[in-house]
Structure 1
């Protein structure tokens, strides 16, 4: 399949990328829409240090095309938006409603992709545990959130980063309460979602 791969010096479309078979608790998603976030650009310019080679992209939505036998939250054919967080749902942080601090997922990298043949085969990382600049990806089932079929996948793809970051800044960082006034400086994708979260 095709995927946008950054090799440490340049990003290029590779056409021989494979994605491994599912493991327990995972799903395979056909990527129908992906957003380009500044974080992806930051990998390319070195602001975010991420080990190459890596399939870029972390804002994605699509259709579930395969599920592991133990997966119950989504089914084949479901439309999903993808989250960068593959939390375990069982640790203390998850129990306290703080999945972004999950000790089972924090800082762990995944390499479900390969490219090349024979001795030239190399493993590729997923950026932000998603790697959505490709045709298909494998993620933890907890990263796939079912959405109604009528929600446009192009819009849904932005939820996993820009929407969650903007709204999360309002509720988790600034802790804005009902009736308070806020000022948002910069109204790009994240700023607009901060305004929506505060409204």
Structure 2
């Protein structure tokens, strides 16, 4: 599955060539990837199913599943940044010995600047418990496409961030990110690819308050 961000949270970066900021002469080197960072939003990395569904008693826990082992690649050839992610879902059931399938929904969202959702896609992953087994594993995948132009810092901002400052200069100790315009430009060019279970309100409340 794939989706495009036409406007073009533990993080993993997929590539770092086109938007690299490095002071090769020494000092502090900053490497910024244009590719979307990958993360699992808080409270969405696991889900608990109950039997009966309305119960929240620990004795009613039916299945617990967790997203783990996120892996990403980023192809920055061409005008777009194409990211692909795979991840594992590990599950444990509390009771039952017969073979069983459990299907869980998950989401993949592209966020710009930390809070603007530019694309979202839902998927489903099916876990198959073998007869007599309490554990099951499944793998899922997703992808996103972000405009390279939208994820690339303007040249004037790059110059402000990478300009060499000598001791004694009036702004030698000033962080370029303290400039609101620089900070805003970096935020606009920053994208995240977020993966998690698509929880209903009761499931999310359980994760937050348990």
Q: TM-score, normalised by structure 2?
A: 0.24
Structure with more of its chain in helix, by fraction: 1
- Please identify the structure whose Cα radius of gyration is greater: 2
Q: TM-score, normalised by structure 1?
A: 0.25
